[in-house]
Amino acid sequence: TWTRHVMSTPAVVAARVSFRAAPSSRRAHKRASVSRTRSAASKTGCVVRASSASGDKAPPAKVVVVGGSGFVGSRVCDALRTAGVADVVSVSKSGGGPGGVAIDLSSDACVTALTDAMKGADCVVSCVGVFKPGDDDAMREGNGTYNVRVVDAAVAAKVGRFVYVSVASIVPDALGGADSAPVMAGYFAGKKMTEEAIASAFEDSNVCIVKPSFIFGGDVFSVNPPRVTSQYGDVLVKILGSGFVKSVASKSPKPIALTLAEPVSVDDVANAVCSGVFGRNPSMACDGTEEIKACAAAI
């Protein structure tokens, strides 16, 4: 979610791996294919598994989605149920969503309630975010402190996997850096705080951070947070996702590249999160629109 002048945000161009001639033996060919897939994963931040035993494993039995009644979180809950997760628990201030649990994250006391809600969960997803332009303290707390409490609760509940919806790295970079951006400094600082807390609490292999830029979807326009409908967003994708515009963006200074970046559908974000829950992408972030689309396709 972004201010109007940041509305069109960056699609991080996924690396492409050029495959050479296949080895002669089937066994060598299989080894080479696995190696190439891993090589692609290290460059794109995502794995799209064509067919493997691990890719076809049973879905997690229980997943807790914190912020599960929001714009992104509600779609994540839907995607998880569609993918076969039997017990999807939505945690939010309102208590809305499937298996809804009402918890206010504004107090340290919430960690106990969160821990209880997370007991027996295979994975926790945090879609928690606060967008209040001009109030850096509120954004730092809502995007940082609140999420750190979610991480602490997940650790206390002995949850094995954590997925977090953060922000595409090119966005703060284009605006002066996460630590010194003249606008949205609290927003970026909070996101960074959460990513650091997750990295300290979980092994890399048990983490997935989905990093979208400008998210579109639904049937309603919004100013705060800025949001356009699916119909309008699809038009933007056709224009900003064209080869010509991407070529121009790739050669432009970061602030210009930011305005030319392809937005990402909320459904792609939700499916990328779902892919992370299932462990179908590595722990490194799915950073930007193209990587998110690749991760979404894995589910």
- For residue 10, is the peptide bond before it cis, meaning its omega torsion is within 30 degrees of 0? no
What DSSP line would sit under 56-80, residue for residue? GSPPPSEEEEETTTSHHHHHHHHHH
- Could you tell me what percent of the chain has a pLDDT over 90? 53
Pairing mode, strands 101-102 and 123-126: unpaired
Alpha-carbon distance values, 277 to 124, 243, 293 (Å):
8, 32, 15
Q: Dump pLDDT digits (tens) for 143-185.
A: 999 999 999 999 999 999 999 999 999 888 877 766 767 778 9
The answer to whether the CB of 260 falls within 8 A of the CB of 8 is yes
The answer to the question of residue 43 being in a domain is no
The answer to the question of residue 227 being in a domain is no
The answer to whether the CB of 222 falls within 8 A of the CB of 179 is no
Q: The domain spanning residue 276 has which CATH number?
A: 3.40.50.720
The answer to the question of residue 47 being in a domain is no
Would you state the pLDDT for residue 245?
67
Three-state DSSP class for residue 118 = helix
Q: How far apart are CA 140 and CA 148, in angstroms?
A: 11
The answer to the question of residue 41 being in a domain is no
Q: Dump pLDDT digits (tens) for 110-152.
A: 999 999 999 999 999 999 999 898 899 999 999 999 999 999 9
Predicted TM-score (pTM) above 0.85: no
User: Phi first, then psi: what are they for 133, rounded to 5°?
Assistant: -55, 135
Three-state DSSP class for residue 251 = coil
Number of domain units in the chain: 1
Give the residue from 288, 215, 227, 294 showing the smallest Cα distance to 257: 288
The answer to the question of residue 27 being in a domain is no
pLDDT value at 95 more than 70? yes
Instruction: Please report the beta strands in 212-291, taking only residues with DSSP state E, as ranges in sequence order.
Output: 215-216, 264-265, 286-287
Which DSSP category does 52 fall into? -
The answer to the question of residue 201 being in a domain is yes
Domain hosting 276: range is 58-214+264-297
Pairing mode, strands 215-216 and 264-265: parallel
The answer to the question of residue 2 being in a domain is no
The answer to the question of residue 29 being in a domain is no
Q: Dump pLDDT digits (tens) for 14-68.
A: 333 333 334 444 444 444 443 333 333 333 333 333 333 344 568 899 999 999 9
Q: How far apart are the first and last CA of the chain?
A: 24
